[in-house]
Amino acid sequence: MFWEIVLTFVKTFAVGGLICVIAQLLINYTKITSGKILVFFLLSGVLLQAVGLYQYIVDFAGAGATVPISGFGYLLADGAMKGAKESLFKAITGGITAAGMGFAAAIVFGYIFALIFHARSKKN
């Protein structure tokens, strides 16, 4: 039991860390901007899910694959693919429906932290 938990943490950290290492290598050794790297990872999650590969990564690594931005792409594609089985409208709205709880949490927690902390301008 204990070793199963440890193995889960190791797999999660290894896959999430590998995704971050790839991003850091792109930042360090290319002239690609951070925004383009973000879009690249989002679209790679969509593409890998569209061909059926990202689900295997999620099954193996759990949060190590779903927390990075590529996991958001996976979630959008997965929701759209599941919605497409029902109707064209659900194919269009399925990704947003699948990610709705994450959107809501980001808004609520962002608001709470905005109330707690006060933003200040950076002094040069």
Domain range enclosing 108: 2-116
Task: Tell whether 121 is covered by a domain.
Answer: no
**Residue 34 resides in a domain:** yes
Whole-number Cα distances in Å, 71 to 24, 45, 51, 94, 124: 17, 6, 15, 16, 36
Structural domain includes residue 101: yes
Residue 75 lies in a domain: yes
Q: How many domains does the chain have?
A: 1
- The answer as to whether 123 is a domain residue is no
How far, in whole angstroms, is CA 3 from its chain's centroid? 27
The pLDDT of residue 120:
78
Q: Is residue 84 part of a domain?
A: yes
Q: Is residue 43 part of a domain?
A: yes
Q: Is 124 part of any domain?
A: no
Per-residue pLDDT of the chain (124 residues), as tens digits, is 899 999 999 999 999 999 999 999 999 999 999 999 999 999 999 999 999 999 999 999 999 999 889 999 999 999 999 999 999 999 999 999 998 998 899 999 999 999 999 877 777 6
